[in-house]
Amino acid sequence: MTTEARTVVLASPRSFCAGVERAIEIVELALERFGAPIYVRKQIVHNTHVVARLEGEGAIFVDDLDAVPDGACVVFSAHGVAPSVRAEAESRGLDVIDATCPLVAKVHTEARRFAERGDTILLIGHSGHEEVEGTMGEAAGIRLVESLADVDSLTVEDPSKVAYLTQTTLSVDETAEIIAALRRRFPKLRGPGGDDICYATSNRQEAIVEVAREADLVLVVGSRNSSNSRRLTEVAATAGTPAHLIEDAGQIRTEWLTGARVIGLSAGASAPPHLVEAVIAHLRGFGPVTVTERHTVEENVTFSLPLVVRQPLGVLLAPFLERLRLGVDELADGGTGQQLRQERRRTGQVEGQLDDRGAVRAGFGDVVGAQPQPAGIACLPGEGLALLHLGDGPDPVALLGLDHLGGVADPQTVLMGGFHGRHGRRPLRPVLQVGDRPPDQVDRRLDGESDVVKHGDSSRSSVITIIRPQSLGRFSGI
């Protein structure tokens, strides 16, 4: 092929979306904070280069939780999981960090809402995709619709109670056609409160159409199992331009470039930006290349990271530990206060200590009244905040903690926030103790919601109420 000058027109936006960036960062920070190995259920995002890099850093990707050792840390991928997967992880005491894209989680919420109304739920998506599997697990009887032909063959019990949802990474135009066909079949069809198609999917498809209109050839960087990358390629081809999906620059065929003076270039939402730069560098090997960019929309979407990887727990809890110390000093009186100060000096922990794994432990002491009322807090490694009260009623320190977390006081409960969903079965024994006395036993309640910690005297027992990870928003500011 003769050397000739070419123009590369970059579609913008392209490459990583906010959900993908968040998911990758979660794995990176988990490795940094807790050390290798970190297990990841399925590919964290659908890109072989991303997966290979994270494997090199200590991530282990598995297809099923059976491959995750008991007690290990596992990350759920950006595509989400079914409730049954969460239940299995919880039953095995796995430390779970959820990297589900918030936009996928929104679809899950909608599925539950429609199910509660008694609607027949139609999910527009592709069989076998992990996002579809997760969404279909949210409610019984969800029907998958993959094409217009599926619409024609649908039968439902009550045509007036039908709702639809969509996979977030589909082609906008194709989905619109299926929704229109569904509305013709079911005039009272309900839909989600907003478009389920991911903003990044829509934006990249709009951008690739603009680029394809002026290009002789379109290259889309992305993996074969990436739904949004495949849809980008299809959208470009539908615009009338030859389009090819490539994993990286090494897959470019020389014959594609013949007669291609203008080359459109984009990347799927799960493809790293450096792969796009590598494609441009590769094309320069065939002659001079001028690079221009076509902006269709600016993206400024960001998603918060889970609390467990976002910041050290010592930093997070510093304001609370200070409030706890002040609260104890204000509430203690006479001999009780002196006894508490002695306890504090002996344990050296009421103000809080940060160990090398980010665990904060606060000591236990007598706080109010003539009768000793041991209470305290403990932040378990990789776990969360526990507020322990021993006795018949809530002591002021426990109430202070409840107030800090935005919780509701219950005379017989204390709080434990398990960032990974653990219920404290294993860590409670060495951590929750009064002075040097470990708990004699930790009994599991049948409902799986609480633990009873006993310290030798049956009259001095406490119920530990578990706050699920999804309820921690009040605490974390998410």
What tokens were used for 288?
């001079």
3-class SS string, the chain: CCCCCEEEEEEECCCCCHHHHHHHHHHHHHHHHHCCCEEEECCCCCCHHHHHHHHHHCEEEECCHHHCCCCCEEEECCCCCCHHHHHHHHHCCCEEEECCCHHHHHHHHHHHHHHHCCCEEEEECCCCCHHHHHHHCCCCCCEEECCHHHHHCCCCCCCCCEEEEECCCCCHHHHHHHHHHHHHHCCCCECCCCCCCCHHHHHHHHHHHHHHCCCCEEEEECCCCCHHHHHHHHHHHHCCCCEEEECCHHHCCHHHHCCCCEEEEEECCCCCHHHHHHHHHHHHCCCCEEEEEEECCCCCCCCCCCHHHHCCHHHHHHHHHHHHHHHHHHHCCHHHHHHHHHHHHHHCCCCCEECCCCCEECCCEECCCCCCCEEEEEEECCCEEEEEECCCCCCHHHHHHHHHHCCCCCCCEEEEECCCCCCCCCCHHHHCCECCECCCEEEECCCCCEEEEEECEEEEEEEEEEECHHHCHHHHCC
Active-site hit among 130, 131, 138, 234: 131
Which positions ≥6 away from 367 have C-beta within 8 Å?
328, 331, 332, 336, 340, 373, 375, 395, 396, 397
Q: Report whether 147 belongs to an annotated binding site.
A: no
Q: Report whether 73 belongs to an annotated binding site.
A: no
Note if 330 is an active site residue: no
Q: Report whether 160 belongs to an annotated binding site.
A: no
Task: Pick the closest to residue 365 from 347, 353, 387, 382 (CA basis).
Answer: 347
Whether the Cβ atoms of residue 12 and residue 295 lie closer than 8 Å to each other: yes
Q: Report whether 91 belongs to an annotated binding site.
A: no
Letter for the amino acid at 83? P
Task: Pick the closest to residue 433 from 405, 467, 460, 398 (CA basis).
Answer: 460
Q: Report whether 79 belongs to an annotated binding site.
A: yes
Binding residues for isopentenyl diphosphate: 46, 79, 129, 226-228, 270
The residues annotated with a catalytic role in the active site are 131
Binding residues for [4Fe-4S] cluster: 17, 101, 198
Binding residues: 17, 46, 79, 101, 129, 168, 198, 226-228, 270
